[in-house]
Amino acid sequence: MKKKIGIIACSGEKLIGGTLSRAAARIVVEKLRPNSTIVLCEPLFAAGGLERHGGQEERNFAKEHPTITIEGCEEECSKIAVERYSGPVAATIRVDEIVKAHPELNPKSLEDLGEEGMKLAEIIAEEIAKKVDELFVSE
């Protein structure tokens, strides 16, 4: 049986990249690759001292399965968290790079991406789905 791939999206709230990364992650796990991916909750995953509060499932899953992080900005919080607690990530998608490549699409706001923002999220989701497929081929 093939393994599932964990998708960990930046949970940043202050930049449009965070909103786009969350929307793209949901599109992948709900629509594009529902049978081969699962979303891992980034705050729960990254939380320091979690061993004292319970909730090790995300970290354990990422130790045993390939993971793709989706980064909303150059800080790469998701990748750093995964590598700190579980090991190397299989792939990282930088949302800001995809946004730059599509200047014609302007998200409405942090709270509401609007039509163009959702289109951008779909493009990011397609990139993630491609990585998912590559990882399954390479296994």
Partner 1 sequence: MSEQKVYIVPCSGIGKVFGSIGRETTYIVVNELERGKAKLECLPLIIKGKKEIIEQLKENKVIVIDGCPLKCSYNNVMEQVGKVDAQFMTTDIVKENREFKPESAIIPIGENTKVLSQKLAERVSKKVHELLENTEEVND
Q: Which spans of this chain sit near partner 1 (rule: CB under 8 A)?
A: 9-15, 18, 22-23, 25-26, 39-44, 46-50, 53-55, 75, 77-78, 80-81, 110-112
**Number of Cβ within a 10 Å radius of residue 61:** 17
Length of the chain: 139
The CA distance from 55 to 11, in Å, is 18
SS3 2: coil
Locate 113 and state its tokens: 């991406």
Nearer to partner 1, 18 or 66 (CB): 18
Nearest approach in angstroms of CB 106 to partner 1 is 18
- For the chain, the farthest-separated pair of C-alpha atoms sits apart, in whole angstroms, at 47
Structure-token match 């399954």, residue found:
136
Nearer to partner 1, 14 or 139 (CB): 14
Nearest approach in angstroms of CB 115 to partner 1 is 12
Nearer to partner 1, 48 or 138 (CB): 48
Nearest approach in angstroms of CB 82 to partner 1 is 12
